[in-house]
Structure 1
Amino acid sequence: MNDPTPPAAQAPATPGFRRVLTFWDLVLYGIVLIMPIAPVPLFGVVQKLSIGHAVTTILLAMVAMMLTALSYGRMAAVYPSAGSAYTYVGRALHPHLGFLAGWAMLLDYVLVPLICTIYGALTVQRLVPWIPYPVLCAVFAGAMTLINVKGIRATVNANLVLMVVMTTVILAFIALAVRLLFAREGWAGLLSTQPFYDTRTFQWKALGAGTAVAALTYGGFDGITTLSEDVKNPRRAIPVATVFVCLFTGIFGGLQIYLAQRVWPDFTTFANLETAFMDVSRVVGGSLLFGAMAAILIVANLGCGLSAQAGISRLLFGMGRDKMLPAGFFAHLDERRSTPLYNILLVGGIAMAGALILDYERAAELINFGAFLAFMGVNASVIRHFYFSAGRPGRRLLPDLVLPAAGLAFCFLIWLQLSVHAKIVGSIWFAAGLVWDAIQTRGFRTTPAAIDFSDV
């Protein structure tokens, strides 16, 4: 006798994400994450490090990021997870290597509120120079901490509005810079090879040092991979979207830096290297553009710092809850607001103290120390999974070995150019992670606990 119950009633479908996002949705999301003014805070510092070749460093970093973005996209299609590099390295290479990749990423996330505090305070100081820098650091870090303690977080819609405002200001800068350069020197002022290669100052070592910091321009591109369960045809859309976002960022950001170099080629005369782009904006568009650029930089850094502090605080809470960190402190929740109060205060304190100890350049290099270790791990994961996995059919030399190997080599060369200070501090952090992993896994005899990056 036939069962009258419909098949759907017998076996309900397993709930899951709806694949509704298109390729262009991913691209927009990635541009929002990176922000269209990403290279602006780096301009003066990278100009100094590269001895006047900032736009070249942006383009060189773009090559490394595009190769790495392709690797991220391919691994996201295989392991759709918010863990990103942590998950890919842990699954494709080894769980303990995955833990160390996650530990390196943890350093990045902790430092984002710090670098936002530094740049936000420096930008405000250009508007009100009579207020001491330590006071501005305290105000900036305190504001982020207070807002997060109250449980308020930036929304996607707010970030989208911010992106539109930033794009409007930077497009105004581009138009006014083009008009100024053409009025000064005609086509010769607009079209020049000097920003890319100046025989008087070019040095490979300086170019490498600048590129090691300029790579921060592309920070956040890997966030696209966290949407792999929501997008149509993720195996194709995710890799192409991540590469496209890096390409767009490099070209659009490179144009901003190119024009800034043409307007103000002598980097030794900036009032402040960290806020040098604001000086260029004043030359291009007067006090109005100077103020507009300052306003969007302040708001952008506050929004970025808020989101980063909220995310890392929740990540630390998860690690405390899973007994990976002391639960009494890290797993504490404020009963009134259900926020990880101790973690928020800790991250805010690190941002405040770090802003007084580190300058923008050192903080950027420390972020890139962990980031490039993770990037190298992801490129190695592609090689291991797609080219060397036992019994895997259809291996392809170019996409499965050559391109990720080139990405790994490029990232390693950039990582080598980081300062000795960044390598020492980063190595201490990395060694601490290795020791902690050994303690947690009884001398590497058990599998390390999973780190949940879903809230970051």
Structure 2
Amino acid sequence: MADTLLANQAPAPGLKRALRFRDLVLYGIVLIQPTAPMPSFGIIYQQARGHVVTAVLLAMVAMLFTSISYGRMARVHPHGGSAFLYVGKEIHPSLGYLTGWCLVMDYILNPLICVIWCSRAAMNFIHGVPYVVFVVFFAILFTALNCNGVETSARINALVAALLGAVIVLVLAAAVRWIAMQTHMGMSAFLQPFYDPGTFRMDGLLRGTSIAVLTYIGFDGISTLTDEAKDPARSIPRAIVFTCFITGILAAIEVYAAQIIWPHGQAFPDIDTAYVYVSGRAGGPVLFLIVNGALLLANMGSGMASQLGAARLLYAMGQDGALPRRFFAAVDSRNRIPRNNVLLIGAICFVGALCFSYQLGTELLNYGALLAFAGVNLSSILYGWRHGRLHQWFPMLLSLGGLVTCMFLWGNLGRLALTAGTAWALAGILLWVIQRRPGITIEA
């Protein structure tokens, strides 16, 4: 009788494998956002002494190596898709924990830099209002909406991405029109965005490249769709690499046009919203307002989503006992969200936006991201070493290129970012050690 019931029982429903290669690439581009280089354009421009397009392309090389390693690891570990999982499985669980701890910093910093940028962009709309007023407004806005369970849907995210794509078309069309109207530009002006002998410095370019990595962060999210992709063993790795490549080419075009319009040596009214002022020069006040508003909207959506994502990550760590369970694993009974974590991150965003510059926030975010990327590359190398060294030599060589470039860029981050990031990593190591001492618990 029991056997008959089991035989007649319907199988448990699973996720539908409906996503094709182009769907995965589109998802990746939406996740990264097609306007990714615009918010950080000013600080890369400043650090690289005008060589933004070169910095973006060099960062793309490092990310292409890393995207290949991500694709290999997604094929080996199809259920997961996270750097700390790959590092924990292929290297050691303790290093996987440290990788995850660095990613926690990234999750927290993302809404923080969105608060900073939104506040700067709002000042372009409403003059005379102090920066701190907008910081308070956006920190409270993100927190209040997340505390009330307001989430953006995938359809809204796709619509925002389409609107940002339209903004890019407007900017590039205005740039072409502006360039066509210039009668004094020689061929050297079109080559200077790649290399200007009068301003080039290798240390500045490398510093700018380490910041330009921010343009690509998010491509690894494609690996989380393994269970919904058709032929995931083939489509997921290809989509990760192709998304990274498309992002790099599109970003290079966007910043190349901006550098032609605003050559090095001319100061920006505001370095954080520099691309908005470039748009204003190319298309006048109307385009200035359109780009400023579009990027403000995009950063608001990103800030809200990343704040809730960080709160959920802290919740998961509280459930696992990595953080005090009573505070971090608490869930609001009405909205079913980790309210304590949302409030905590909102407070961090408020204080951090007053203490941090946008540049320091992005460099700190890249501190964790580059270490995580290096860990994925090393995981790919060790996997190849253990599973057929001879026929795995080429993938291992590519992963070695990713490891070397990521660590090199990591070493070129600012001294303050390296110091603060290392302090965060040491705090994570201390917490890891305390957790494992006999008789000590952090369950309270």
Q: 2:403 aligns with which of 399, 404, 408?
A: 408
CA distance in 1, matches of 2:273, 2:188: 23
Q: Is the 8 A contact 1:32 1:163 kept in 2?
A: yes
Q: Is the 8 A contact 2:99 2:375 kept in 1?
A: yes
Bigger mean CA offset, 263-272 vs 353-362? 263-272
Q: 2:325 aligns with which of 301, 324, 327?
A: 327
- The Cα offsets for residues 153-212 of structure 1, whole Å up to 9 and x where unpaired, read as 111111100011111011111011011102214884797211000011111100000001
Q: Scaled by the length of structure 2, what TM-score is found?
A: 0.94
Amino acid at match of 1:396: Q
Q: Which residue is 1:398 aligned to? A: 394
Q: Which residue is 1:360 aligned to? A: 358
Q: Scaled by the length of structure 1, what TM-score is found?
A: 0.92
Aligned length: 438
CA distance in 1, matches of 2:102, 2:426: 10
Amino acid at match of 1:388: W
Q: Could you tell me the percent identity over the aligned residues? A: 42
Q: Is the 8 A contact 2:17 2:227 kept in 1?
A: yes
2:303 match: secondary structure: helix
CA shift, 1:392, in A, is 4.1
CA shift, 1:147, in A, is 0.2
Taking the TM superposition and a 5 Å limit, the aligned residue runs for 1:250-265 are 250-265=248-263
Bigger mean CA offset, 259-268 vs 423-432? 259-268
Q: Which residue is 1:438 aligned to? A: 433
Amino acid at match of 1:427: T
1:192 match: secondary structure: helix
Q: Which residue is 2:53 aligned to? A: 55
Bigger mean CA offset, 72-81 vs 356-365? 72-81
2:227 match: secondary structure: coil
Change (3 A) 1:18 1:393: farther
Taking the TM superposition and a 5 Å limit, the aligned residue runs for 1:157-172 are 157-172=155-170
CA distance in 2, matches of 1:416, 1:364: 15
Amino acid at match of 2:103: M
Q: 1:233 aligns with which of 228, 231, 234?
A: 231
CA distance in 1, matches of 2:272, 2:330: 37
Q: 1:419 aligns with which of 414, 419, 426?
A: 414
CA distance in 2, matches of 1:229, 1:253: 30
Change (3 A) 1:393 1:182: same
Q: Which residue is 2:182 aligned to? A: 184
- The Cα offsets for residues 307-332 of structure 1, whole Å up to 9 and x where unpaired, read as 11111111111221222211221122
Q: Is the 8 A contact 1:36 1:167 kept in 2?
A: yes
Q: Is the 8 A contact 1:181 1:189 kept in 2?
A: no
2:293 paired with 1:298: no
Q: Which residue is 2:192 aligned to? A: 194
Change (3 A) 1:396 1:333: closer
2:170 match: secondary structure: helix
CA distance in 2, matches of 1:139, 1:189: 47
CA shift, 1:129, in A, is 2.1
2:423 paired with 1:428: yes
Q: Which residue is 1:154 aligned to? A: 152
CA distance in 2, matches of 1:409, 1:10: 56
Bigger mean CA offset, 180-189 vs 320-329? 180-189
2:336 match: secondary structure: coil
Change (3 A) 1:29 1:153: same
Bigger mean CA offset, 276-285 vs 24-33? 276-285
Q: Which residue is 1:342 aligned to? A: 340
Amino acid at match of 1:98: G
CA shift, 1:14, in A, is 5.9
CA distance in 2, matches of 1:305, 1:57: 25
Q: Is the 8 A contact 2:363 2:413 kept in 1?
A: yes
Please tell me the root mean square deviation across aligned C-alpha atoms, in Å.
Answer: 2.1
Q: Is the 8 A contact 1:33 1:221 kept in 2?
A: yes
- The Cα offsets for residues 217-238 of structure 1, whole Å up to 9 and x where unpaired, read as 0011110111112111212211
CA distance in 1, matches of 2:398, 2:189: 32
CA shift, 1:369, in A, is 0.4
Bigger mean CA offset, 9-18 vs 339-348? 9-18
CA distance in 1, matches of 2:407, 2:61: 13
Amino acid at match of 1:397: W
Q: Is the 8 A contact 2:189 2:260 kept in 1?
A: no
- The Cα offsets for residues 275-316 of structure 1, whole Å up to 9 and x where unpaired, read as 111111111111111111011111111100111111111111
CA distance in 1, matches of 2:437, 2:58: 43
CA distance in 2, matches of 1:29, 1:267: 38
CA shift, 1:395, in A, is 2.8
Amino acid at match of 2:261: V
